[in-house]
Each structure stands twice: as structure tokens, then as C-alpha cells.
Amino acid sequence: MLLKDKVAIITGGAKGIGKGIALMFAKEGCDVVVNAMHIEGAEKVAAEINAMGRKAIAIACDVADSAAVNDMVARTVKEFGKIDILVNNAGGVAGDAKIGDTTEEAWDRVISVNLTGQFLMCKAVIPYMKKNKYGKIINVSSMGAIHPPAPIVHYHAAKGGVLGLTTNLALELAQNNITVNAILPGPIKTEFFTEMFKGKSEAEAKAFFKMLDNKVPMHRMGEPEEIAGVALFLASDMSSYVTGEAINVGGGLPLSPMDEE
């Protein structure tokens, strides 16, 4: 098993990509702290992991709240004795996102959840990783940070900031045997798109997904497990000499397929 006896915190672990990562890590021998805003979803994933014979606990916590983050990290260390892996996956979008439609309130909230939350999580776990002279930090960005498929200004700005956070921490922590890398998912079948199209028409959603099919060289959306596989590589010792990297996982994106006749 690639993660035998490791301990991971996975934020946003109750659904979608986070859930896929949590379950795959557990299959590879990892004990997991499943974080989410609401405890019910996190508890369901933790129960699945416990049923596999690994240990998991669910913790409800807003990653943009520094006090709550510090409490979650302290509880993790109390329960498991260490933190080997952090997956910063929590995030989300709030409302319309063209610049003219984006309020300061929406901007601040999306930046806080998608960028500040990752900063706070890293800041909280790094002292424990330094103490153990070992750590794997995986920050989930978005391919939209570098190739936005639609104008979602606050979300894509935050995810671009994640890339800067990743490279800076990778440089700072390299001598501590702590690697820091980012994953940039392309279009993945998750609840993200359900939230994205709240209040919009079915025709708008259909047109958007058709556009995705035309843009992705593989002509399909990805599955959470396909992101989880890359996260597993970055969390395992197979990637011991990899740090500061941003890995696109998008079915060939940002390459552009040729028009088919």
C-alpha cells in the first residue's frame, strides 16, 4: 500500500473530488480526517473509510476561519499523533462572476474559501510537518486559473493565487522534506457544476457542456477518481523529488483539438 500508516487531512472531503481522494487514500492504507462545512456529509465518508478497516473522523470546519482551522489541526494531532498529508480541496463559487456582476462581498467570500483557507490550513499543519521532518501538501487549484472556460473572476483569481502559494511554500519548505504541489483539474463530474448553474436555464447548461465536449481533446468530462490518482502519486513517496509543480488533469486540456470534419 502506498500510504500505509500515513495520516491525511482532506478539506472539502464530503463529496466530489475530495471524497474521491479520501476513499482512494484509505484504500492505500491512510487514516483520514474528512473535513467539510457540514458534518453530515463528512460523517458518511468517514463511515465508508472506517468500514474499510482504516480510521477516519469527520470534522465540520470553515477553512476560512483561522480559529476553527487551528482547532481541527490540534484535534487531528491528538487523535492520530501526526499529520503526514494535507489536501487543500475545499472551495466553491458564489453567484454570477463577470466583473460587473461581482460584488465585493462575493469576491471576499470566494477568495477567503478558495485561497485564504488554503493559506490557513498550510500555516496550521506546517509546524507539525517540520517537527516530523516529513510532509506532503497538495493544493487543488483549477485549470480555469490559467485557461478559464468562462468568466468566473473571483474563483479563477483565487485559484491563480493557489499556484503562487504552492510555489512559494515549495521553495520555503524544500529543506524540511516537505513537498508542496498543485493539481489543476479540468472539467470533472462533481456537484460544482450543479452549484454553478443554479438559477440558470437548462439550455444554458446544455450549451456549456456541449462547449466542454468540443474543447476537451478526450471529448469527455473526468471522474473524481482520475484526480484522486494524481493526488495519490503526489501524496506517496513515488513523488519524493517532486515539489513546486502544477499538474494539469483535464483530458488533454489546455491542448486544443482540431476541428473534426
Report yes or no on 2 lying in a domain.
Answer: no
Give the residue-averaged pLDDT of 55-67. Answer: 97
pLDDT for the residue 20: 97
Question: What's the pLDDT tens digit per position in 70-125?
Answer: 999 999 999 999 999 999 999 987 655 789 988 999 999 999 999 999 999 999 99
Tell me which residue range forms the domain holding 149: 7-190+224-249
Backbone angles phi, psi at 141, to 5 degrees: -100, -140
Residues classed as catalytic:
155
What is the rounded average pLDDT for all residues in the chain?
A: 93
Rounded to whole angstroms, the Cα distance separating 96 from 212 reads 19
Report yes or no on 203 lying in a domain.
Answer: no
Residue 260: pLDDT above 70? no
Question: What's the pLDDT tens digit per position in 199-218?
Answer: 788 888 888 888 877 889 99
Report yes or no on 141 lying in a domain.
Answer: yes
Report yes or no on 137 lying in a domain.
Answer: yes
pLDDT for the residue 261: 44
Report yes or no on 185 lying in a domain.
Answer: yes
Strand ordering across the sheet containing 135-140 = 56-60, 31-36, 7-10, 85-88, 135-140, 178-185, 246-249
Lowest mean pLDDT among 22-31, 99-108, 167-176: 99-108
Report yes or no on 130 lying in a domain.
Answer: yes
Query: What is the count of structural domains for the chain?
Result: 1
Q: Which residues contact 113 (CB under 8 A, 6 or more apart)?
A: 62, 63, 64, 90, 91, 92, 158
CATH number at residue 235: 3.40.50.720
pLDDT for the residue 212: 78
Element containing residue 51 per DSSP (H, E): helix 39-51
Element containing residue 90 per DSSP (H, E): none
Residue 46: pLDDT above 70? yes
Question: What's the pLDDT tens digit per position in 124-166?
Answer: 999 999 999 999 999 999 999 998 878 889 999 999 999 999 9
pLDDT for the residue 258: 66
**Angle ∠(32,230,146) on CA atoms, nearest 5:** 115
Rounded to whole angstroms, the Cα distance separating 209 from 81 reads 45
Q: How confident is the model at residue 55 (pLDDT cuts 50, 70, 90)?
A: very high
